[in-house]
Amino acid sequence: MFARNAPPATTTTTTTTTKRSQFLGGQEVRLRLREKRTKSAKGRRVSTSASSSSLSSSGLVGVQLTCPICKRPVFTTTTTTTTNGKKKDVCCGKTWTIETKNGFECADLEISRNANSYREAKLSGTSLFETPLVSNVYEKGWRESFAWAGFPGKEKEFETAMKFVRGNNNDSSGGEMDVVLDVSCGSGLFARKFAESKAFAKVVASDFSENMLKEASQFARDENIDANVMSFVRADVGRLPFETSSVDVVHAGAALHCWPSPTQAVAEISRVLKPGGTFVASTFLDPSANLNNDDLTKPFSDFFRDSQLGTGGAFNRFWTEQELRDLCEMVGLEGFKRERERQYILFAVKKNSVRCEDDDETEECDIVLSVDEE
């Protein structure tokens, strides 16, 4: 969140004014006006951990889910029903579900589920990853093919991501964090690595594509990932069904260039991150990045983005580093760090741990009228 510029701390003292006048045949009216007292203070530093919820959850273990429409907590012990092993909760006219697939809890909180004919316009690259064919081959050669752009391979990419996460948390001891959310997780490649690292108590793998999540849960079962540690959530990255300030780390591997609305998605990521939490992501830079001089190649980057020609246009969106910096700063994510190689970039930012709060304490105007007989 942005920290708004607050005025210096001020206090307006209370004053009392008494007015005496002749009224209604010699009666006297005394008016006492108490002015509004206002104290303004700048944003206060808060704890980097989310406040504990008073709600008991019968949903995913270790994670409080919310309705993606109104953000009300769902799957609490008082709102959940269970039928044939499937948990259900109704909110905003929608029935949200949690069921077990391949031995893992899988929640579906995607808004457009069960829609008859409504479809939103998407980049063709986004729709492509919803198909069963691509879901099946993603981890069988598709992801490795990103090497042409400079992607260093999953082991090195994961190592760099964890280096940034540990650095932002000032933690070199390898201590366990609470929750990592892997958005647009695809086949769960990095979600599994987060689980295997034992760096997190809970790993939540989320994707818009139902086919991708089927593949992800199958891979997790084949690799004997602990079902108490990992769970899956079908959701739109632009409407994340998680409590505000509830996640330590959000990861997005080779995904941001496919999101229909990056601004909305990154704003949601900022919302669910705990103060001080980390967003770490890899994506594609536009071809001018190969020249390694962003200032010189900016006109070419602008043309490439605006022309809508081929990859990086109608297919998906490639970035400049400055655009990624701006995108994060717009939603209160700071401390941009990155590693680049040709068209590959992996960056990490941190949610500001200083909230801007309106700390005004106001007393309503207090008017006292009294009539004194002479």
Residue-wise pLDDT for 310-333, tens only, equals 455 545 788 999 999 999 999 999
In one-letter notation, the amino acid at residue 326 is: D
Nearest to 219 by CA among 74, 67, 103: 103
The token duo for 324 is: 């990624």
Query: Considering the chain, what percentage of its residues have pLDDT values greater than 90?
Result: 51
Greatest mean pLDDT among 50-54, 80-84, 259-263, 278-282: 278-282
**Geometric angle at alpha carbon 231, from 228 and 232, rounded to 5°:** 170
pLDDT by residue (tens digit) across 99-146? Answer: 999 999 999 999 987 766 766 665 545 555 556 666 567 777 778 888
Residue 196 has pLDDT above 60, yes or no: yes
The domain 120-351 having CATH identifier 3.40.50.150: the answer here is: yes
Residue range 218-242: mean pLDDT, rounded: 96
User: What is the pLDDT at residue 27?
Assistant: 45
**Geometric angle at alpha carbon 168, from 165 and 170, rounded to 5°:** 105
Lowest mean pLDDT among 1-5, 109-113, 221-225: 1-5
User: What is the pLDDT at residue 298?
Assistant: 78
User: What is the pLDDT at residue 48?
Assistant: 38
Q: Distance between CA atoms of 296 and 203, rounded to whole angstroms?
A: 41
User: What is the pLDDT at residue 216?
Assistant: 94
Residue 363 has pLDDT above 60, yes or no: no
pLDDT by residue (tens digit) across 294-304? Answer: 888 777 777 77
User: What is the pLDDT at residue 84?
Assistant: 87
User: What is the pLDDT at residue 303?
Assistant: 73
Nearest to 340 by CA among 201, 192, 172, 149: 149
Q: Which residue has the higher pLDDT, 242 or 302?
A: 242
Residues 193, 216 contacting (CB under 8 angstroms): no
User: What is the pLDDT at residue 53?
Assistant: 39
Nearest to 161 by CA among 134, 187, 200: 200
Query: Quick one: pLDDT band at residue 277, thresholds 50, 70, 90?
Result: very high
CA dihedral (213, 218, 223, 228) positive or negative: positive
* pTM, two decimal places: 0.76
Query: Quick one: pLDDT band at residue 174, thresholds 50, 70, 90?
Result: low
pLDDT by residue (tens digit) across 144-164? Answer: 888 999 999 999 999 999 999
Residue range 325-345: mean pLDDT, rounded: 96
**Mean pLDDT over the full length of the chain:** 78
User: What is the pLDDT at residue 103?
Assistant: 94
- Within the chain, all domains assigned CATH 3.40.50.150 are found at 120-351
In one-letter notation, the amino acid at residue 191 is: A
Q: Distance between CA atoms of 27 and 35, rounded to whole angstroms?
A: 26
Buried b (16+ CB within 10 A) or exposed e, 225-240: bebebbbbbbbbbbbb
pLDDT by residue (tens digit) across 75-102? Answer: 998 889 998 889 999 999 999 999 999 9
DSSP SS3 for 103:
coil
Q: Distance between CA atoms of 143 and 152, rounded to whole angstroms?
A: 11
CA neighbours closer than 13 Å in the CB half-sphere of residue 366: 10
Greatest mean pLDDT among 61-65, 112-116, 254-258, 354-358: 254-258
Query: Quick one: pLDDT band at residue 42, thresholds 50, 70, 90?
Result: very low
Q: Distance between CA atoms of 24 and 71, rounded to whole angstroms?
A: 58
Judged by phi (left if over 0) then psi (alpha if -120 to 50, else beta), residue 62 lies in: left
User: What is the pLDDT at residue 57?
Assistant: 58
Give 22: exposed, middle or buried? Use CB within 10 Å, 0-12, 13-18, 19+: exposed
Residue 362 has pLDDT above 80, yes or no: no
Q: Distance between CA atoms of 264 and 269, rounded to whole angstroms?
A: 9
In one-letter notation, the amino acid at residue 316 is: N
Residues 365, 36 contacting (CB under 8 angstroms): yes
